Amino acid sequence: MPTFTPAPFDYYAVKSLDEAIAMLKENEDAKVIAGGQSLLPMMKLRLLTPKILIDIGKIPGLNYIKEEGNELAIGALTTHDDIAISELVKRKCPLLSEAASKIADQQIRNRGTIGGSISHADPAADYLPTLLVLGAKIVTKGPNGERVIEAKDFFIDVFTTALEEAELVREVRVPIMEERTGYAFMKFIKRELEFATVNAAIILSLDGNDVVKDVRIGLGAVGPKPIRAKKVEEVLLGKKISKELIEEASQYADEGTDPPSDVHASAEYRRHLTKVLTKRGLLKALERIKGGSI
């Protein structure tokens, strides 16, 4: 029978990132916890059995959302709900707000943090394709100081990121979205608390003649890390937008995907969903540009 209680561990609540980094450097069997929405379930199933748990949730100054130049700076301990309801995020980067609002349920959004989610790097997590299409940057801090890593280089594989030994996420920087830009975050789930079977983050920009000047489509849960639907983007870019063009382009959404087959869905069904969600997301993004029905 499966075990539903964690293995014994020592617990430490640290007061600074430097203290957490020092403890991680000295203890190979340590894990970091903030909101605990990803780590604790794995510990209960004993998929992870850290000897030491380092709680960074009480470190001051890591829960914030502020505008800096043409970016939003978001602290690692900022919760999903903080991002979902932030008026600043809704105005400056509504795609991120929409993605955050669709994470699990309200209880998890109240506790889970953006830093914890992206560090965990579950391929089905909602932030991953969103940060990819936004061109976000991840600010990390470790024994050798700070680094700035682009989202496209941060997510490496299943539960694997570019974080080095004893290195932690400190901040996420997200570019402010341009005017006349449509967006959509699409997600297929069977039950509210499940991770996405497939998710898609979409940005669409048009010029004054309704010609596509920028389009970015990120897909999640279709392989070991989020990917861009490059072929769809190529078909759309430089052409006058229409429902027919969206229908045509969406048929290429599964190119480059490598989805798993599991108890939730077959690989074939996930490929089908990439086309469906891409089409719906592009239409929704276009509606937002047009201010209503199209």
CATH of the domain at 142: 3.30.465.10
My answer on whether 237 and 269 are in the same domain is yes
pTM of the model: 0.95
Q: 3-state secondary structure string, the chain?
A: CCCCCCCCCEEEECCCHHHHHHHHHHCCCEEEECCCCCHHHHHHCCCCCCCEEEECCCCCCCCCEEEECCEEEEECCCEHHHHHHCHHHHHHCHHHHHHHHCCCCHHHHHHCEHHHHHHHCCCCCCHHHHHHHHCCEEEEEECCEEEEEEHHHHEEECCEECCCCCCEEEEEEEECCCCCEEEEEEEECCCCCCCCCEEEEEEEEECCCCEEEEEEEEEECCCCCCEECHHHHHHHCCCECCHHHHHHHHCCCCCCCCCCCCCCCCHHHHHHHHHHHHHHHHHHHHHHHHCCCC
Residues of the chain with pLDDT under 70: 1-3
Q: Which residues contact 60 (CB under 8 A, 6 or more apart)?
A: 15
Flag whether 30 is in a domain: yes
User: In this predicted structure, what is the pLDDT of residue 167?
Assistant: 98
What pLDDT does 1 receive? 46
At 263, phi and psi to the nearest 5? -70, -20
Determine if residue 126 is left, alpha or beta; phi over 0 gives left, psi from -120 to 50 gives alpha, anything else beta.
Answer: alpha
What's the confidence (pLDDT) of residue 3?
Answer: 61
Q: End of a domain among 158, 175, 192?
A: 175
What's the confidence (pLDDT) of residue 38? 85
Query: Does residue 194 share a domain with residue 150?
Result: no
- Does residue 1 lie in a domain region? no
- For residue 90, the enclosing domain spans 65-175
Residues 160 and 106 in one domain: yes
CA 67 to chain centre: 20
| CATH number, domain with residue 249 | 3.30.390.50
Same domain, 153 and 244: no
Both 70 and 164 in one domain: the answer is yes
Q: d(Cα 4, Cα 43) in Å, to the nearest integer?
A: 8
Residue range 247-266, pLDDT digits in tens: 999 999 999 999 999 988 99
Beta bridge partners of 240: 211
Residues 6 or more apart from 203 whose CB is under 8 A from it? Answer: 95, 133, 134, 177, 181, 182, 183, 214, 215, 216, 217, 285
Among 145, 160, 175, identify where a domain stops. Answer: 175
Residue 5 lies in a domain: no
* Rounded Cα distance, 216 and 203, in Å: 5
130 lies in the same domain as 224: no
pLDDT confidence of residue 291: 86
What local confidence, expressed as pLDDT, does residue 5 receive?
A: 87
167, 186: one domain: no
The answer on 83 and 166 residing in a single domain is: yes
